[in-house]
Structure 1
Amino acid sequence: MSPKPSKGSLPDRYDFDELLQDDLAAGLQLAGVDRSVVGLADDVQVVHRHYNKPQMRSMLVGASEEYAVWGRGTGKSEGLIAPRTFRNVEVMPRGHGCFVGATYLQLLERTLPPVIKGWEAMGMVRGRDFWVREKPPKKLNIPQPIVGPITTEHCIFFRNGAVASMVSQDRPGSSNGKTVHWIAGDEAKFLNKPKLDSELLLTNRGDDRYFGGKPEFHSLLFCTDMPTSKSAMWILEQDKRMEPERIAAILTIRYQIYALYEQLLAYPAKRKAIQNAIAKLQAQWDELRKNAVYFSEASTLDNIHGFGFKALADVKARLPRFIFETAVLNRRPFLTEAAFYPDLDEHHFYDSLDYSYIDKFNNDDFGKGKFNDCRKDNDLDKSLPLDVALDYGASINTLLTGQPRGRQYRILKELYVTHPDRLEDLAKAFCAYYRHYPTKEVNYFYDHTATGTSAISNKSPRDIFADYLEKEGWVVNLEYLGHTDDPEKRYELWGRCLRGGDVDNYDVRFNRQNTEYVRVSMQQAQIAQGATGFKKDKADEKNKEIDQRQTTHFSDCADTLLVGAHDKHKSQALMSFDAIF
């Protein structure tokens, strides 16, 4: 038996992991299975379930509010959201909870499939214990939720009458008029915090007569990998709200309950007295959990036995260093004073998905990455040409598309190919992604770096790209920008565009789902001192050990696109008072 944790300090995580492995009954209870403390019935089949250390610590604490900043691959959906929401449903029959995400597609594609897998691993059966986006058969006589939804389209129904709504911030009004009893949010770093506070959190209220006193009642769970923008730092601030002494007391009680479970096996004659002691401790555990705030951080290394060393090595080779260190290793990002784009922040990114297209798919299609062309994008003005700009190189070629919309300029999509693929492969990728775009016309912005030829080709990068698009039926408007602008001019232009409110410049916005590497490239871009002034530091472009997607290639591509947009569109667009939709 591991030593008892001392009062006022958190116990060693491995001690409690060993206890879980030694006590299957307690493990099942902590996983959320509703069993009486009198013990398991003779006909109950005990199934071994594996949970990693962060997941087990979460179950041990069971706080009313939980904020988990865990790296990718730690099992947030399957081993954190699934057990917690399972327990919420079990202890609040006919209750109404909700899953919240920045987008509805995120919930369908990335959150719910592993959560459902987690429920099924805990014994639930789809079509018997829960129904996704459909009501249970009437013949089952399942009770109605206390505050049920009007429609079934965005809900999950459970056999005990509970229901969980799927609420997304990109579908206006999806949380209006609701009363919910618990909230679980995945990918919380992408949530709009002011909108969360003013809309959804206000619905987590009422109905004390049904569930008052339960720690799960009006509980909150928000999990994410490491936030990298200033507006998402609210998640890390929750650490200051946690009381370590309360968490230590909760874990001490769990230890004592485990010890009593062992005594049930060793002293069957004292069964009733031990059961009463367990019930008393369980009540104390519940009381402490009611007002507890639990904040935890974990990296993918905490789940290395489940994730696998080879998979981790593959991820490290595939991801840019910045994403690997923050999203996988869970290291807090550094904020530099030498940033080339210091004004870039989360509010510059938006979500825009065409649900009239997405809603046509069946439930079984979600989680399989089938939405990978422009039909899912709702920010396209399909009557206008697409603006494109490229950055060229031997190791990587990058492309960005954009369009003006009133006084706003939107960067819509990133595309890239890496060696050994070449520029023609990038043109092919562009045509594949936009094959359903009705206006086959592009404004191709390029500077002097696209006009040169080489010893192995008498065609310039401009000609290679333009010729391929024209062969595929696109009209290509060549927009030559001359020599690349000085770094100081680009720095100042981005500053005005990102701060907004300048009548002579666009307000720039980025499609969040489609510009992951643009964000990294721009966040990581640094200022270096040049011979005649400052410049963008491009040293990493020469370091072949660094993933080139995270270096300045995409940021240079964004520079060209923005300069070209101002040269072509500014005079007409910035004098327009058209509404921005």
Structure 2
Amino acid sequence: MSLQNNLKKQIVYNPAQMVAILAPQIVKMLIWGRGTGKSTVLAYFMAMMVKYMPRATFILVGNTYSQILSNTLKSTKAGLEILGFYENIDYVVGTRAGKKMGFKLPFETPDKWENMIHWSNGTVFQLVSLDNANSGRGINSSGFISDETALQDEDKLAISVKNTNRSIPKEVIWKNNPFLFSETYVTSMPITKKGNWVLKYEDLCRQDPKKYFYQKATAKSNQENLRPDYFEYMKQSYSNELIYNAEMLNIQPKEITDGFYPQLNPDIHYYTDRDNAYLETIPLTDLDDRHFDCRQDRDLVRTSPLIVTMDFGASINCLTVSQLQGEVYRVVNCFFVKTPKILDAVILEKFLPYYKHYPTKTIKYYYDRTGNSKVANSKETFAQQAANLFRSGGWKVHMMTVGKNPDYMPKFRLINVMLKDDGRKGLPRIRINEENCKDLIVSMEHAEILDTPGGLKKDKRSETRKTVEQEHATHFSDTFDYPLFALFWETFVMSSRSSDSLPNSTL
């Protein structure tokens, strides 16, 4: 089927999609809730850019190359298929095969095709990830599409993508073109502080409505294509009013200004560090989940043990992976399973497959003291059961939790001094892998604090509320706390005494 015939396929767009499609502005910020039809509208704009600008070069940008491979590319292909465009017929991905199939070439023919979507009329989309400063270098593009924009860094987007949006070939067909230099951003409502920059486009739209289009929409615009009880069904699935409101209803989460981690700063403490050299060896025609394991993580010291922390519960079992690397304490990953799955699943289905290729199979194992409680109908405690599961996967396990759980006030003082990042002697800098630890970050950013007669305490009520999804309650934040206190409290106390100051005087 030819490109022109494909474009004649009858597609019924929902109201949100139609408004976005008809908007004449060159810059579009679409903040849409789940189920609104983001993949379809993204595919539509790609198809239109192909139609109006044959042989042009565009960019499809994601936060990381891993995200592009595991999510963006898959959803884009699915959206294109809805519109009647098929891989290896209308376009090819990551291969030179298009030339052999008679495809036209773009005006600027790339040296490498491994990260290209090549269309039959010669238009190409280059896949650009913001975690690789060089992935957009040297490109002369004529527009771009940004997927999951709220996950992206605004400055990196400007440097790696916006700076390339400048190519003006002389062909007449491009004059007065509605997609020349277009910027299309598709995202859901940000649920962490780092993504809030996308919301400023509402003010830009007010200031310059001829250039900027800003739209918030929910799946209520797409009811005809969804099950009748979709919102009620999703509310039961989320069980979390904050995340449900953000991802489904596009309501911006309330910022916790006086939470348990007031020193937590996305610009300082969050990072991404994927091994793109490894990811680029994965053929774009073979994007199986088995490729996305610890081999894609460049932030690991592979000769050192992993610090594994677990929090046990009836509704959820959480696991966080960290590593002490000299003067830096890195939180590198987190996993969870919820009921009806049990503790075994988070180890057997999540941790062991992900770290199958990790060479130093040694764990320093920290856990909540409730882990010393016996498992029902077993002589083993939760912690012993978990340790045996790690050992069955070939790992050596050192049990590190001793004594009772510390009070919240000492944890609050220690952790927030460490987060201040001021180089206090003996205390490492804390860094969190934002790509792997999304749920941990949400848990920490939304962990509130209670001022009680006994001192400051972490507000744990989220763990008992049916309206809070448990991976975003305080469980995960506790897995962050346990090893830090065990490893550094004594150092913190000694350094405070040597400077003739009380431990809490730095807060």
Q: Same fold (TM over 0.5)?
A: yes
Secondary structure at 2:161 match in 1: helix
Are the aligned partners of 2:329 and 2:429 in contact in 1 as well (CA < 8 Å)?
yes
Flag as ranges the 4+ runs of structure 1 deviating above 6 A. Answer: 567-570
TM-superposed CA distance for 1:76, in Å, is 1.2
Closer, same or farther in 2 for the Cα pair 1:428/1:124, shift >3 Å? closer
Q: 1:463 aligns with which of 384, 407, 423?
A: 384
What CA distance in whole angstroms lies between the structure 2 residues aligned with 1:569 and 1:137?
A: 61
- Confirm or deny that 1:81 pairs with 2:2: no
Q: Which residue of 2 aligns with 1:413?
A: 333
**Corresponding letter in the other structure for 1:300:** A
Closer, same or farther in 2 for the Cα pair 1:209/1:493, shift >3 Å? farther
TM-superposed CA distance for 1:242, in Å, is 1.4
- Confirm or deny that 1:332 pairs with 2:295: no
**Corresponding letter in the other structure for 2:251:** R
**Corresponding letter in the other structure for 1:555:** S
**Corresponding letter in the other structure for 1:69:** I
Structure 1 spans left out of the alignment, 5+ residues: 1-32, 35-42, 247-290, 571-581
- Confirm or deny that 1:163 pairs with 2:82: no
Structure 2 spans left out of the alignment, 5+ residues: 493-507
Are the aligned partners of 1:402 and 1:561 in contact in 2 as well (CA < 8 Å)?
no
What CA distance in whole angstroms lies between the structure 1 residues aligned with 2:413 and 2:273?
A: 28
Closer, same or farther in 2 for the Cα pair 1:99/1:529, shift >3 Å? same
Are the aligned partners of 2:98 and 2:120 in contact in 1 as well (CA < 8 Å)?
no
- Confirm or deny that 1:557 pairs with 2:479: yes
TM-superposed CA distance for 1:320, in Å, is 5.2
Secondary structure at 2:431 match in 1: strand
Q: Which residue of 2 aligns with 1:185?
A: 146
- Confirm or deny that 1:129 pairs with 2:51: no
- Confirm or deny that 1:496 pairs with 2:417: yes
What CA distance in whole angstroms lies between the structure 1 residues aligned with 2:7 and 2:320?
A: 56
TM-superposed CA distance for 1:454, in Å, is 7.8
Q: 1:531 aligns with which of 441, 446, 453?
A: 453
**Corresponding letter in the other structure for 1:215:** P
Are the aligned partners of 2:189 and 2:250 in contact in 1 as well (CA < 8 Å)?
yes
What CA distance in whole angstroms lies between the structure 1 residues aligned with 2:29 and 2:83?
A: 23
Which deviates the most, 102-111 or 305-314?
305-314
Are the aligned partners of 1:496 and 1:502 in contact in 2 as well (CA < 8 Å)?
no
Closer, same or farther in 2 for the Cα pair 1:456/1:107, shift >3 Å? closer
CA-to-aligned-CA distance 1:22-51 (integer Å, 9 cap, x gap): xxxxxxxxxxx87xxxxxxxx999643121
Are the aligned partners of 2:99 and 2:105 in contact in 1 as well (CA < 8 Å)?
no
CA-to-aligned-CA distance 1:487-515 (integer Å, 9 cap, x gap): 22222333233332333333222223322
Q: Which residue of 2 aligns with 1:480?
A: 401
Which deviates the most, 406-415 or 315-324?
315-324
**Corresponding letter in the other structure for 1:110:** N
CA-to-aligned-CA distance 1:309-329 (integer Å, 9 cap, x gap): 455544433335132221222
Are the aligned partners of 1:231 and 1:345 in contact in 2 as well (CA < 8 Å)?
no
TM-score w.r.t. length of structure 2 = 0.86
Closer, same or farther in 2 for the Cα pair 1:310/1:381, shift >3 Å? farther
Q: 1:101 aligns with which of 62, 68, 71?
A: 62
- Confirm or deny that 1:543 pairs with 2:465: yes
TM-superposed CA distance for 1:179, in Å, is 0.9
Which deviates the most, 224-233 or 340-349?
340-349
- Confirm or deny that 1:506 pairs with 2:428: yes
Percent sequence identity over matched residues?
A: 30
Query: How many residues get paired?
Result: 485
Are the aligned partners of 2:94 and 2:113 in contact in 1 as well (CA < 8 Å)?
yes
Secondary structure at 2:117 match in 1: strand
Q: Which residue of 1 aligns with 2:187?
A: 224
Which deviates the most, 377-386 or 203-212?
203-212
Q: Which residue of 2 aligns with 1:213?
A: 176
Q: Which residue of 2 aligns with 1:382?
A: 302
Q: 1:238 aligns with which of 197, 201, 205?
A: 201
Closer, same or farther in 2 for the Cα pair 1:243/1:371, shift >3 Å? same
Closer, same or farther in 2 for the Cα pair 1:57/1:567, shift >3 Å? same
Q: 2:366 aligns with which of 436, 441, 445?
A: 445
Secondary structure at 1:365 match in 2: coil
What CA distance in whole angstroms lies between the structure 1 residues aligned with 2:147 and 2:372?
A: 46
Written as runs of structure 1 = structure 2, the 5 A alignment for 1:292-331 is: 292-310=211-229, 312-319=231-238, 321=240, 322-331=242-251
TM-superposed CA distance for 1:382, in Å, is 1.7
Secondary structure at 1:513 match in 2: coil
Secondary structure at 1:468 match in 2: helix
Are the aligned partners of 1:320 and 1:549 in contact in 2 as well (CA < 8 Å)?
no
**Corresponding letter in the other structure for 1:553:** H
TM-superposed CA distance for 1:244, in Å, is 9.0
TM-score w.r.t. length of structure 1 = 0.76
Are the aligned partners of 1:225 and 1:327 in contact in 2 as well (CA < 8 Å)?
yes
TM-superposed CA distance for 1:442, in Å, is 0.6
What CA distance in whole angstroms lies between the structure 2 residues aligned with 1:419 and 1:125?
A: 39
**Corresponding letter in the other structure for 1:304:** Q
Are the aligned partners of 2:55 and 2:123 in contact in 1 as well (CA < 8 Å)?
yes
What CA distance in whole angstroms lies between the structure 2 residues aligned with 1:523 and 1:509?
A: 15
Written as runs of structure 1 = structure 2, the 5 A alignment for 1:271-290 is: none
Are the aligned partners of 1:320 and 1:550 in contact in 2 as well (CA < 8 Å)?
no
Which deviates the most, 484-493 or 532-541?
484-493
- Confirm or deny that 1:519 pairs with 2:482: no
What CA distance in whole angstroms lies between the structure 1 residues aligned with 2:319 and 2:6?
A: 58
Secondary structure at 1:480 match in 2: coil
RMSD value, Cα:
3.0
Q: Which residue of 1 aligns with 2:504?
A: none
**Corresponding letter in the other structure for 2:409:** E
Closer, same or farther in 2 for the Cα pair 1:460/1:112, shift >3 Å? closer
Structure holding more helix per residue = 1
Closer, same or farther in 2 for the Cα pair 1:145/1:524, shift >3 Å? same
**Corresponding letter in the other structure for 1:68:** L
Secondary structure at 2:255 match in 1: coil
Secondary structure at 2:417 match in 1: helix
Closer, same or farther in 2 for the Cα pair 1:439/1:313, shift >3 Å? farther
What CA distance in whole angstroms lies between the structure 1 residues aligned with 2:98 and 2:314?
A: 60
What CA distance in whole angstroms lies between the structure 2 residues aligned with 1:539 and 1:353?
A: 35
Closer, same or farther in 2 for the Cα pair 1:215/1:170, shift >3 Å? same
